[in-house]
Structure 1
Amino acid sequence: MLLHLQGLLTADERAHIRAVLDAADAPWRDGRLSAGSQAALVKHNEQLAHDSPQAAELRAMVLTALQREPLFFSAALPRKIFNPLFNRYRPQAPAYGRHIDGAVLHSQADGQWVRSDLSCTVFLSDPDEYDGGELTIHDTYGVQRVKLPAGDAVLYPGTSLHEVTPVTRGTRLASFLWIESMVRHDEQRRLLFELDMNLLQLRQQLGETAQTTALTGVYHNLLRMWAST
């Protein structure tokens, strides 16, 4: 399942994050320093130093935004979140070729091991600020090319082959992170998400009825069956 989260960040949050990332003293590093041997062959971008005070501040802002977004919780059912990181693409460091993210990741920020059930990219530059730079996701649902407004995010399966196409003008800034879900399998998460969204619509149309109460029980019994905490 691929999901577009609109307006994840507020205008004030976007402005503050951009000010930090655009500052002359922002500690950008070669993105290959954090890549494995295979990924380093196709990774040509820059990454904000994860141990910097700037990264710590911005991580907290992104996590706060995710935690207040009910659509994110419904779709991801998060058990753990790998600390958000920040990257930059520009003509000098333009692309990240096709790759699949590691299955289990170790966070240097909090020491957690996180299984990458889902990937998430939060866009921090508007589409007209750069040419190229599409997040291109190859999966069973086909090829999706994603280039969203600043402050929006996309959530997609961590098993997906994906890439960032070369940036030929301007600068593409983003935050990226991974989620270990309480429900490990994408198909089960998708069914739970669809049930949750349809229940929400039924309640808005009909109010609380015997049927919505019964279907809510179905949702929670499926979650109880599939979830690990």
Structure 2
Amino acid sequence: MILAIADVLDAATAAAASRTLHGLPFRDGRETAGWEARRVKSNLQADARDAAAAVLKADLLARIAAHPLFGIAARPARPPRMLLSRYDEGMGYGAHMDDALMGGLRTDLSFTLFLSAPEDYAGGALVIESTAGEQEYRLPAGTMLLYPTTFLHRVAPVERGTRLVAVGWVQSLVRDAARREMLFDLETAREMLAGDAGRARERALIGRSIGNLLRMWAEP
């Protein structure tokens, strides 16, 4: 399941995050890439040792964790890992798959939180390869794309301007992507019944199924 989650940040918060990120010190993005991805990666990443970068990351992670769609789609087992990335003109990231393990974290899901507005840069689309072909994403500032880490993906070269994003990885309580999607559908169905007082029984049965499936599938 590939899920675009709107309004993780409102417009003002996304603009403020973008301004902060512009002013941070950056390092060569290849320093944090795996040995194979390093050959196709051309970007900059905020220096993790910088105090302002740490504050920005903590704020963004808190806002992501608080979004209800993220919770039911990802079902995180641990706090995600995050990098703050910058792509200037000519920079991009060739086709790759993110490392399966990062500092002891199993990467079940990846996400890109867009901080630059689409009109602020040209090119720079996130391209995800699936059995349906290639899908390109240039989403509004404050929107996050959540997708299984098993997909090959790339960032097309930036043709104009600067592309600013926060990228991260999640270890889920539910390792299997198909099972996560089933649980997401059940949660969505339960919420669709929330406004109908006469459907309390149906909501309870769906909730029972969600709970029992989590008992079967979750890996705390």
TM-score of the two chains, using structure 1 as the length reference: 0.92
Unaligned runs of 5+ in 2: none
Q: Which amino acid aligns with 1:115?
A: R
How much is the aligned-residue C-alpha RMSD, in angstroms?
Answer: 1.3
- C-alpha separation between the residues in 1 aligned to 2:60 and 2:132? 28
Alignment of 1:1-229 (within 5 A): 1-23=1-23, 26-92=24-90, 94-106=91-103, 113-229=104-220
Please state how far the C-alpha of 1:143 moved relative to its aligned partner: 2.2
Q: Cα deviations across residues 124-178 of structure 1 (Å, max 9, x unaligned)?
A: 0011111111100112354221110111100000111000000010000000000
- C-alpha separation between the residues in 2 aligned to 1:157 and 1:67? 17
| Contact 2:8–2:142 under 8 Å retained in 1 | yes
Residue 163 of structure 1 aligns to a residue whose secondary structure is strand
- C-alpha separation between the residues in 2 aligned to 1:225 and 1:206? 30
| Contact 2:126–2:153 under 8 Å retained in 1 | yes
- C-alpha separation between the residues in 1 aligned to 2:113 and 2:57? 12
Pick closer, same or farther for the CA change 1:141–1:62 going to 2, 3 Å: farther
Identity among equivalent positions (%) equals: 40
| Contact 1:9–1:152 under 8 Å retained in 2 | yes
Pick closer, same or farther for the CA change 1:120–1:99 going to 2, 3 Å: same
Residue 174 of structure 2 aligns to a residue whose secondary structure is coil
Residue 146 of structure 2 aligns to a residue whose secondary structure is strand
Please state how far the C-alpha of 1:53 moved relative to its aligned partner: 0.9
- C-alpha separation between the residues in 2 aligned to 1:37 and 1:179? 21
Q: Which amino acid aligns with 2:58?
A: A
Q: Cα deviations across residues 183-219 of structure 1 (Å, max 9, x unaligned)?
A: 0000000000001101110222455422221121011
- C-alpha separation between the residues in 2 aligned to 1:45 and 1:120? 17
Please state how far the C-alpha of 1:18 moved relative to its aligned partner: 1.8
TM-score of the two chains, using structure 2 as the length reference: 0.95
| Contact 1:55–1:85 under 8 Å retained in 2 | no
Residue 175 of structure 1 aligns to a residue whose secondary structure is strand
Please state how far the C-alpha of 1:114 moved relative to its aligned partner: 0.8
- C-alpha separation between the residues in 2 aligned to 1:187 and 1:54? 38
Pick closer, same or farther for the CA change 1:218–1:96 going to 2, 3 Å: same
Pick closer, same or farther for the CA change 1:139–1:63 going to 2, 3 Å: same
Q: Cα deviations across residues 67-108 of structure 1 (Å, max 9, x unaligned)?
A: 21000000000002333211111115x1000000000001xx
- C-alpha separation between the residues in 1 aligned to 2:11 and 2:81? 22
- C-alpha separation between the residues in 1 aligned to 2:132 and 2:77? 25
Please state how far the C-alpha of 1:16 moved relative to its aligned partner: 2.4
Q: Which deviates further from its counterpart, 177-186 or 14-23?
A: 14-23
Unaligned runs of 5+ in 1: 107-112
